[in-house]
Amino acid sequence: MQVSASEQTHNSFPILRVIPELMGDHFDGRVVFISLFDVVEGDKQEIKAAYHENRGVFNERLRDYLDENYPAMSARMVDEMIEEMMGSLIEGKPQNWRYDPDITSQKNENAIVLMPDPDLKKEDLIAGICGLEASLFVDDEGRSTVAGIDQDWINAVIFHEVGHSPDNTNASDHLPFEVGSDDTAYKVLTLSFNNASGAAGGMHLGHEIAEQMDAARAIGSLMNANIDPDEMRHDTSAAVHVPGQAGHAPVAASWKFKEELIFLKKTLFEAIAHEVPDDSLSWGVFTDLVDGDFGEGVELKVSDKDQELLEEIADELFDYEGDALLLEEQLSPEGLEKFHQLPGYIKVFYEAKFMDKVWAHGGKEAQASPDGTYAVLREQYLEGAFDEHPIAKQYAYEYLNAVQTLMPTKVPEGLDPKEPFEPPHFDEQGQHIAIDHNGQAFSPIGKVH
């Protein structure tokens, strides 16, 4: 592996000096590392303020830096790419951009890694992976629950980004790439890292950090409230583990992990929505239907009679009492009779839109209340809600254990913060084809993070 970086970036990230030793077997091309201060110097807050006032100037500075130092790469980069890269540098958001001048090659030989903010705290980094607030990773006595020092976690993130270097990042499904890069970082942390710790800027506790990074992914996989499979690119958790490893899921096709995780999220979020009801859900759906909003791209002609029924139901729902998720408790007998008079196709659209709102509300509440989420998921787990879905159960298993590891204060009072859970079991016939990290459609330029 060939590493290219400015002296300033090398000094800010000492791990770069031993990256070839740690990860040379993973990628035999060139990795270009770029940090914010390669492009602009000064106070970070002042830089951010100036950037938001005049982004074009900063984009030009990045272009000038690339023209001067990496002209062949710069010549292939469109302005939109430069703009997005500059935005990532400003936000301290690490990314790996695949870049290969040979558009006919399936093998990537060049990559650009945009570096994180070197002053980030480890709690901020792990909170970003989890999708939660950094304050949650401090115990009741003010001590961090995150192992190691800040630089350790910056280095772990760099391992993940370098792990993307061989990837074809234009594929529609990014989950396999994230699984592979998480797995690469895990191996570097647990197998290679300690041997180079003296030269790696004091990195230590590699195995514990790897386990906590894994736990953070487990939390993040459920705290990502989105149930759109295209938005599950970082929901790696259960997918990282290898077959035969005790308590861990089999390697399976990417679509299978998403299918199982969607089942888990819908089951969990619906239960949470019952626990923390939103009185406006049904009324909001009927208001949409009254306005002719049956879903994106759907246009329907509703009869005058049905329109009148929809308006009357919406009016009654504005003042209902009862379970917010049970229509029979939200409407009077007369109102319920009006609902039954609606054509079947309108009821189908109502149910679909209503459940979308239920899952969205439950997902939002799950993020807002990690302790409540733990309690609901624990109850579902012990009651066997996921026994027929072992990969979904694996995601739940990883999450429950991750909360105990990283957020023990969010285990609800009265519950054992070290409660053991029976892991899911997989039979050989239930396994699916392995995730393919390399056989995706090719693109010369793309990004992952």
Spell out the domain ranges in the chain: 281-366
What pLDDT does 411 receive?
94
Instruction: Residue count of the chain, please give it.
Output: 449
Reduced to 3 states (helix: H, G, I; strand: E, B; else coil), residue 447 is strand
Res 378: pLDDT: 97
Cα–Cα distance, 1 to 20 (Å, whole number): 5
Q: Looking at residues 195-215, what average pLDDT do you find?
A: 66
To the nearest whole number, what is the mean pLDDT of the chain?
Answer: 81
Q: Which residues pair with 97 in a beta bridge?
A: 112, 447
Mean pLDDT, rounded, for 288-312? 85
Only one residue has tokens 């039979």, namely 427
pLDDT-derived band at 319 (thresholds 50, 70, 90) equals low
Confidence of residue 322 (pLDDT cuts 50, 70, 90): low
What pLDDT shows up at residue 383? 96
Query: What confidence tens digit (pLDDT) does each residue in 70-101 have?
Result: 998 888 888 998 999 999 999 988 988 866 55
Q: Residue 191 has what DSSP assignment?
A: I
Angstrom CA distances, 357 to 130, 161, 288, 342, 351, stand at: 23, 35, 12, 21, 10
The pTM for the full model equals 0.82
Helix (H) or strand (E) holding 97: strand 95-99
Express each pLDDT in 364-384 by its tens digit: 999 999 999 999 999 999 999
Residue 441 has a pLDDT of: 26
Q: Are strands 2-4 and 30-34 parallel, antiparallel or unpaired?
A: parallel
Look at residue 102 and tell me whether its pLDDT is greater than 70.
Answer: no
- Hey, how many other C-beta atoms are within 10 angstroms of the C-beta on 109? 17
pLDDT (tens digit per residue) in 135-178: 999 888 889 999 988 988 999 999 988 987 776 555 566 777 77
